[in-house]
């Protein structure tokens, strides 16, 4: 398998960051999580983004995580590093580091918190794109303030800007972006709840949180859409939404995914404050919920097989 941005396709986990219960970066757990993800035919890894709780980490920790992942992945799949930070200067440092350690690309949310105008956002991406030779994937997500289709098309004209990760729900914008941007411009679906719809629209890949825990289900959805079996894709997507909403309704989505993974023997650690973690009793209830969804929906999730192998009487 190649390792450039052209190979960054298909189902791509937005990787969880692994912290121990004292909130320290956990190298061993990170390696375990990578091995777990690499056991599936994933199309790449997306690091230190929203799912990775990157804005709760300092730059040194982010760089350390990237180094550990690059070492563990050892060129098996392309790795794109999200380098968004509060200042252009900080983002550029992260970008240069990503290039130095062999990432396939970088990605960034627009600068946020302060109300920047379109010109300042454009300059941010221009400066970032020029700071390395890596391809840059623009990350459009409501949490950082959605950019318009016009702004994305304008950004796509910058040399190194090679794609967009679109975590919106107005899917006609995916079509508008595909129509308006240069040929070969990559579009990634970012909203896991809309996976099958994004794939139907012809995105190059889907990048998201839940591909840490249910990548196998999304690979089946990908296959179904590619085989034009829309009823199957839609039915599987509905099952994926059951799992996603169990995670969202837990109130601490990343902590919930980490608890599910730990129950399956993958040491994905805990979340960092101000996110909250769960008591052992609450974790057991969340794990039971995942196993129940799998059973009731007849999915046969790989992670649930692992959970049941360790704890056959969980229900």
Q: Would you tell me which residues interact with ligand MN9 (CB under 6 A)?
A: 14, 50-51, 141, 143, 167, 190-193, 208-209, 244, 248
Rounded Cα distance, 144 and 146, in Å: 7
115 is catalytic: no
Please give the torsion angle defined by the CA atoms of residues 209, 212, 215 and 216, in that order, rounded to the nearest 10 degrees. -150
Closer CB to ligand MN9, 49 or 111, in the complex: 49
Closer CB to ligand MN9, 63 or 164, in the complex: 164
* Catalytically annotated residue among 46, 124, 125, 165: 165
218 is catalytic: no
Closest distance of CB 130 from ligand MN9, Å: 26
Closest distance of CB 143 from ligand MN9, Å: 6
- CA distances 243 to 202, 215, 247, 248, 266, Å, are 24, 12, 6, 9, 18
Closer CB to ligand MN9, 20 or 193, in the complex: 193
Q: What are phi and psi of 79, to 5 degrees?
A: -115, 125
Closer CB to ligand MN9, 155 or 240, in the complex: 240
Closest distance of CB 188 from ligand MN9, Å: 9
Q: What are the residue ranges of helices labelled H in the chain?
A: 27-38, 59-73, 88-100, 118-131, 149-156, 172-180, 195-200, 215-226, 230-249, 253-263, 280-297, 302-310
Closest distance of CB 310 from ligand MN9, Å: 26
First CA to last CA distance, the chain: 40
Closer CB to ligand MN9, 29 or 190, in the complex: 190
Closest distance of CB 269 from ligand MN9, Å: 17
* Catalytically annotated residue among 124, 125, 139, 218: 139
Q: Report the candidate in 61, 79, 62 with the shortest Cα–Cα distance to residue 70.
A: 79
Maximal C-alpha separation, the chain? 58
What residues are labeled active site? 139, 165
């Amino acid at each position: 398998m190649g390792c450039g941005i052209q190979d960054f396709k298909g189902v791509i986990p937005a990787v969880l960051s692994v912290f121990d219960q004292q909130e320290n970066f956990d190298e061993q757990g990170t390696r375990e999580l990578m091995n777990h993800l690499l056991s599936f035919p994933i199309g790449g890894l997306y690091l230190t983004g929203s799912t990775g709780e990157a804005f709760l980490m300092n730059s040194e920790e982010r760089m350390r995580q990237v180094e550990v992942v690059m070492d563990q992945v050892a060129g098996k799949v392309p790795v794109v590093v999200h380098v968004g930070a509060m200042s252009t200067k900080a983002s550029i440092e992260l970008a240069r580091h990503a290039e130095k350690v062999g990432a396939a690309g970088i990605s960034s949310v627009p600068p946020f918190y302060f109300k920047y105008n379109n010109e300042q956002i454009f300059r941010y991406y221009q400066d970032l794109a020029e700071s390395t030779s890596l391809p840059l994937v623009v990350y459009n997500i409501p949490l950082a303030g959605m950019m318009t289709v016009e702004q994305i098309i304008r950004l796509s004209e910058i040399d190194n800007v090679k794609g967009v990760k679109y975590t919106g729900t107005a899917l006609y914008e995916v079509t508008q972006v595909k129509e308006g941007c240069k040929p070969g411009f990559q579009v990634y679906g970012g909203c896991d709840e809309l996976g099958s719809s994004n794939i139907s629209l012809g995105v190059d890949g889907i990048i998201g949180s839940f591909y840490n825990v249910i990548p196998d289900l999304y690979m089946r959805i990908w296959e179904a859409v590619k085989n034009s079996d829309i009823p199957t894709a839609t039915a599987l997507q509905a099952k994926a939404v059951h799992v996603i909403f169990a995670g969202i309704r837990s109130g601490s989505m990343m902590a919930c995914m980490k608890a599910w993974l730990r129950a399956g023997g993958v040491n994905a650690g805990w979340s960092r404050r101000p996110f909250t973690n769960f008591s052992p009793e609450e974790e057991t209830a969340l794990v039971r919920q995942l196993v129940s969804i799998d059973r009731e929906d007849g999915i046969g999730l790989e992670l649930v097989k692992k959970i049941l192998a360790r704890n056959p009487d969980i229900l």
